[in-house]
Structure 1
Amino acid sequence: MTGRKMLRFNLMVAVGENFGIGLKGDLPWHIKSELKYFSRTTKRTNDPGKRNAVIMGKKTYFGVPESKRPLPERLNIVLSTTMKPADLPADVVLCPSLEAAMHYLETEAKDIENVWIVGGSGVYAEAMASTRCHKLYITKVQGKFECDTFFPAIPDGFHEVPLDAGTPEGLQEENGIKFEYKVLEKQAAQ
Structure 2
Amino acid sequence: MSRVLNAIVAVCPNMGIGNNGNLPWHPIRLSNEFKHFRKMTSTPSAEGKQNVVIMGRKTWFSIPEKNRPLSGRINIVLSRELKEAPPGAHHLASDFSSALRLLDTAEMADTADQVWVIGGSSLYKFDCDTFLPEISMDKYRLLSGVAGVAEGMQEEHGVQYSFEVYES
TM-score of the aligned structures, taking structure 2 as reference length: 0.89
Residue of structure 2 equivalent to 1:97? 95
Secondary structure of the residue that 1:173 maps to in structure 2? Answer: strand
Instruction: Give the equivalent residue in structure 1 for 2:59.
Output: 60
Question: Equivalents in 1 of 2:57, 2:41: separation in Å?
Answer: 19
CA shift at 1:28, angstroms?
Answer: 1.6
Structure 1: any 5+ residue segments left out of the alignment? 127-147
User: 1:80 — aligned with what?
Assistant: 79
Deviation per residue, 1:142-166 (Å, 9 max, x gap): xxxxxx7212222451221225201
Q: Which amino acid in 2 is paired with 1:19?
A: M
Q: Deviations over 1:15-34 (max 9, x none)?
A: 01111010111112221110
Q: Paired residue for 1:6, among 2, 5, 26?
A: 2
Q: Aligned equivalents of 1:121 and 1:8: distance in 2?
A: 20
The code of the aligned residue for 1:105 comes to L
Structure-2 separation of matches of 1:100 and 1:69: 22
Q: What does the per-residue CA deviation read over 1:102-160, in whole Å, with 9 as the maximum and x for residues that have no partner?
A: 1101114121110000001110228xxxxxxxxxxxxxxxxxxxxx7212222451221
* Inter-partner Cα distance in structure 1 for 2:133 and 2:69: 25
User: How many aligned positions are there?
Assistant: 160
Match of 1:130 in 2: none
Counterpart mapping for 1:163-174 below 5 A: 163-174=145-156
Residue 89 of structure 1, CA deviation: 2.0
- Higher strand residue share: 1
CA RMSD of aligned residues (A): 1.6
Q: 1:44-96: CA deviations, max 9, x gaps?
A: 112220000000111111111111111111000011111111x5126521001
Taking structure 1 as the reference length, the TM-score comes to 0.79
Call closer, same or farther: CA 1:21–1:163 in 2, change over 3 Å: farther
Indicate the residue corresponding to 1:149 in structure 2: 130
Where structure 2 has 5 or more consecutive residues not aligned to the other structure, the ranges are none
* Match in the other structure for 1:121: 121
Return the letter of the residue paired with 2:133. Answer: P
Q: Percent identity?
A: 41
Q: 8 Å contact 1:21–1:27 — kept in the other structure?
A: yes
Partner of 2:33: 34
